[in-house]
Structure 1
């Protein structure tokens, strides 16, 4: 792997920040609450708080303020942190895992997998990444999509909310909902047609990527979940098949895992991509279907 590509792929989980938000609207910020990223309390049958849900953004610009006194107080009260992937700081291992999975099947010339109208965008990203087209030829389409999404954005995974929360919980219990290998396996198992849809969708969004990611981050920062959903309706989750795999099925699996954690009498702070908390297929609704009351508190 070239040095340029190593720098490109190390923050691979930030590469797909565009899936951090869903496609449905949700409840508005309470009128008497200051603007802040959305935080939900999970209440049991007796009304006692048994845990929390917090939507994250996986990559943010420098000097982007988002922490609040209520959030910090809640983090201190939680017994554990629950995240999608915990080992975000092991860049070498993540990069090796990505390489092992991205190149394990013959893929063919990358240019043949890109729709003609997006080939100029692809070439522009190659220049930005300082790599040759031939590097992508043996790479599976899903992996090329992740890598190119990373090239397209300037927001940094080092500033991601997930990393900051993991730092806050250093020395305390952290639970993974998926882990790196399982998360990448979701993409790796997509049919080739869906992988190519993913690849072309990433290229389709490159022209407006920076503006959209900036607006997405600002909207998340203010807790406007209705607008957050609107912003992402035109994203890749508008594809029904991709939405089912990347959002709906994962939420269903996570809801079962979270219920198990809640039943253990420990209070988890669940921090996942913000889109996983929105709409009728979001985690708040799924947990309510399991008998909990989920209330937005910030």
Structure 2
């Protein structure tokens, strides 16, 4: 792939998964969890139910996660809400192309220490030049994640949001989003240069372990093991506090406020967001509980 990104589902959902320098880990190789039962929570009042499903934006083929309580939530929900609506996802490639270029080229040899540079070059050699010299650090990281996904023959068309979108479109039910494509990309574009460089360096250093990391991540997700999910995610993001605040905590706070506002309207909603947003002390369920709402783990 060249240093630009075509508007497509592939990169948009991959970036949505970039909660962590584990962007690469979210795209590695893993055995399908044939009967995956991902964690899901419910917050409700007298006339409103909001199911919160932890999603994986890309999954190995054959992973069956649509049974259990998820099937019930999908069947009863009046609407689907994801990080990006289908309309915003369609804009994402063009937004990336506008934001990703640097004002002046900078060679990767001047950005990365030897070990990280070796990992970057090995990944680049597996499928062609990234054009990274002309791109911001965060954008290079996104393209690296894409390459790992391509090499592992993973595709976001097998991810949770893609399948849910198909179901809700077929049922003629509305599909909304919590963010715009530009808002989501600006989370990365506006990270300070030191944080961007740290994220890129860690991703390049860890690129050789992507398959192992995603194996742990996908297995924990499939078991609904929130403690293991939190551990896998936190091992990376806790090392980059500025990224954690911008990409996880602050967004979770906004999404928690959205849930509380949505409870004022009757109906049933299925909210599907990256699984990392729903675990830990700064996950959306924990934030809602801290505000006095009853949150029930239903799967």
| TM range, smaller chain | 0.7 to 0.9
How much has 1:55 moved relative to structure 2?
Answer: 0.4
| 3-state SS of 1:214 partner | helix
Q: Hey, what does 1:19 align to over in structure 2?
A: 19
Residues 39 and 226 in structure 2, CA contact (< 8 A), matched pair in contact too: yes
Q: Hey, what does 2:206 align to over in structure 1?
A: 205
| Selected match of 1:122 from 120, 123, 142 | 120
Count of aligned pairs between the two proteins? 281
Residues 58 and 162 in structure 1, CA contact (< 8 A), matched pair in contact too: yes
In structure 2, distance between residues paired with 1:216 and 1:9: 25
**1:149 has 2:145 as partner:** yes
How much has 1:196 moved relative to structure 2?
Answer: 0.6
How much has 1:258 moved relative to structure 2?
Answer: 1.7
Q: Hey, what does 2:32 align to over in structure 1?
A: none
Residues 54 and 269 in structure 1, CA contact (< 8 A), matched pair in contact too: yes
| Selected match of 1:140 from 111, 133, 136 | 136
TM-score, length basis structure 2: 0.85
How much has 1:281 moved relative to structure 2?
Answer: 0.8
How much has 1:69 moved relative to structure 2?
Answer: 3.6
Residues 20 and 274 in structure 1, CA contact (< 8 A), matched pair in contact too: no
CA change 1:266–1:237 in 2 (3 A) is farther
Q: Hey, what does 2:99 align to over in structure 1?
A: 101
In structure 2, distance between residues paired with 1:110 and 1:142: 13
CA change 1:257–1:7 in 2 (3 A) is same
| 1:79-130 deviation line (CA, Å, top 9, x unaligned) | 2111101227965x43222111101633522331122221111111111131
How much has 1:237 moved relative to structure 2?
Answer: 4.4
Q: Hey, what does 2:40 align to over in structure 1?
A: 39
Q: Hey, what does 1:177 align to over in structure 2?
A: 178
CA change 1:210–1:233 in 2 (3 A) is same
Moved over 4 A (4+): 4-10, 88-91
In structure 1, distance between residues paired with 2:286 and 2:76: 23
In structure 2, distance between residues paired with 1:241 and 1:274: 20
In structure 2, distance between residues paired with 1:275 and 1:181: 21
Residues 35 and 221 in structure 1, CA contact (< 8 A), matched pair in contact too: yes
How much has 1:6 moved relative to structure 2?
Answer: 4.4
Residues 40 and 298 in structure 2, CA contact (< 8 A), matched pair in contact too: yes
TM-score, length basis structure 1: 0.86
| 1:126-175 deviation line (CA, Å, top 9, x unaligned) | 1113126xx21120111111111221232321111111111111121112
Residues 43 and 49 in structure 1, CA contact (< 8 A), matched pair in contact too: yes
CA change 1:281–1:21 in 2 (3 A) is farther
Residues 82 and 176 in structure 1, CA contact (< 8 A), matched pair in contact too: yes
**1:233 has 2:229 as partner:** no
In structure 1, distance between residues paired with 2:21 and 2:43: 20
Backbone CA RMSD of aligned residues: 2.6
CA change 1:206–1:11 in 2 (3 A) is same
Residues 13 and 58 in structure 1, CA contact (< 8 A), matched pair in contact too: no
